[in-house]
A and B are shown apart, each in its own frame.
Chain A
Amino acid sequence: MKKNTITKNRPHYINPYLGGVLLGLLVILTVYITGRGLGASGAVKSAVATTVDVVAPNNAESNPYISKFISDDHSPMYNWLVFESLGIFFGGLLSGILFGRVKKPWVEKSPKITSKTRLIAALAGGILFGIGSQFGRGCSSGAALSGSSTFSLGGVIVMLALFGTGYAIAWLFKKLWI
């Protein structure tokens, strides 16, 4: 790819409202075809279940949470959300290539913090998001987006509480971003 010209240009994104309309239509299409919405954290849950099952099978069976996702018929990875999440990755890659945003591995961060700080925050954020998504029965795409769109009470609760918390605590972590 033409890296040199691209890194100098600022990233070019599609109009957010166009993206929103497309995403809304995609949610409708997904529900129209499969009867359920999109998701993302479910794939990681399957990955966790698989890993525990492979590394420590006895542990997996005795764990009351993981054992829910393990069956003798097939691996937990043989799951709708896993394939969908693979799709998310490839879709992102496709868009990245088309718009020239694929680069060598790098860390995006505020100039005020070090890469290490950014990565620690990202790890902590991921851990919290992982724990929260299990209590919340889904993440921002599964619960907040697909849930709210289908008028689910739970989806709207997740959406409001998730963004509400974000606004309430944003000033605490201002330095991380600007």
Chain B
Amino acid sequence: MGPLIPNGIISGDWNFVIALLLGIAFGFILEASGFSSSRNIVGVFYGYNFVVLRVFFTAVIVAMVGFLYFDYFGWLDLDKIFILPTYLSPMIAGSVIMGFGFVLGGFCPGTSYTAIAIGKIDGLVFSIGLFLGIFIFSEIFPLFKDFYYSGYLGNVTLSDVTGIPAAWFAFAFTIIALAAFWITMLIEKRVRKNIKEYKF
């Protein structure tokens, strides 16, 4: 049955209305979880606030497991959904750059929009930075064109590459995430004892 729009069950005319509604839900969840605050977000790297890890990993394992059940019950055809293509080396390089941006800026694009919404100037400045960054990228793109397209492996999933069924990955991610939740709960308690300046 699903995906609904590619299968023509919902007309493509509704695309932008749906985009807006899904975006509102996304923004609401991000803000309500505390992602509109950069200090909450980067807490994951210093051990005083693991909200990013909790929300992010819970979302990933719920979605992974959910997709498998949706596929099993025939509600969603996993062969028809968009699989992010893999460009090995540029993706690793890009993620390292993003990692620097993450620790410096304290936001990622989606969370910076919610930060603007509640009046954070740092969120606005981060978004301006994003704009400039992508502009700079487009200007230097010819220099990096070959690199940008290198390491292409296609729209592959973990199962395509390893031959291991997706369910095992969902299972492994779940185990890792659940273990991480319990461990970080302990870490957070200990770290917070030693931090006086930050109000939680």
Q: Are A149 and B33 also in contact (CB < 8 A) when A91-B23, A125-B105 are?
A: no
Chain B residues near A152: list those with CB within 8 A.
83-84, 86, 155-158
- Does B129 reach chain A (CB closer than 8 Å)? yes
Chain A residues near B124: list those with CB within 8 A.
105
B127 touches A126 (CB 8 A): yes
* B136 nearest in chain A by CB position: A131
A33 touches B5 (CB 8 A): yes
The answer for the CA separation of A119 and B105 in the assembled complex, in Å, is: 8
B55 touches A162 (CB 8 A): no
Residue tally, chain B, CB below 8 Å to A: 136
- Does B175 reach chain A (CB closer than 8 Å)? no
B99 touches A161 (CB 8 A): yes
B157 touches A153 (CB 8 A): yes
The answer for the CA separation of A33 and B18 in the assembled complex, in Å, is: 9
A23 touches B197 (CB 8 A): no
Q: Are A153 and B101 also in contact (CB < 8 A) when A107-B122, A137-B87, A158-B94 are?
A: no
- Does B139 reach chain A (CB closer than 8 Å)? yes
The answer for the CA separation of A122 and B141 in the assembled complex, in Å, is: 23
A108 touches B120 (CB 8 A): yes
B6 touches A35 (CB 8 A): yes
A153 touches B82 (CB 8 A): no
Pick the contact of A153 from B20, B61, B117, B161 — CB < 8 Å? B161
Contact with A along B20-58 (1 / 0, CB 8 A): 111111111111111011111011111010110011111
Q: Are A177 and B105 also in contact (CB < 8 A) when A11-B37, A84-B19 are?
A: no
- Does B74 reach chain A (CB closer than 8 Å)? no
Interface size class of A (residues with CB under 8 A): 35 or more
Pick the contact of B46 from A89, A112, A178 — CB < 8 Å? A178
Contact with A along B188-200 (1 / 0, CB 8 A): 0000000101111
- Does B153 reach chain A (CB closer than 8 Å)? yes
Chain B residues near A170: list those with CB within 8 A.
42, 45-46, 103
Q: Are A92 and B63 also in contact (CB < 8 A) when A123-B125, A130-B131, A143-B84 are?
A: no
Contact with B along A27-45 (1 / 0, CB 8 A): 1111111111110110111
The answer for the CA separation of A158 and B90 in the assembled complex, in Å, is: 10
B110 to chain A, nearest CB (A): 4
The answer for the CA separation of A56 and B100 in the assembled complex, in Å, is: 31
Chain A residues near B133: list those with CB within 8 A.
126-133
Q: Are A13 and B131 also in contact (CB < 8 A) when A85-B113, A134-B137 are?
A: no
- Does A104 reach chain B (CB closer than 8 Å)? yes
Contact with A along B127-170 (1 / 0, CB 8 A): 11111111111110110110010000101111111000010011
Chain B residues near A118: list those with CB within 8 A.
122
Q: Report 20 cross-chain contacts, Cβ distance below 8 Å, ordered by A residue.
A: A16-B33, A17-B58, A25-B66, A33-B2, A83-B23, A87-B22, A88-B23, A108-B37, A108-B38, A110-B198, A126-B128, A129-B101, A130-B101, A130-B134, A131-B101, A132-B96, A140-B109, A149-B64, A150-B81, A151-B67
> Given known contacts A32-B4, A149-B63, what 8 new A-B pairs fall within 8 Å (CB)?
A23-B26, A27-B63, A94-B28, A125-B100, A135-B97, A140-B108, A150-B67, A165-B95
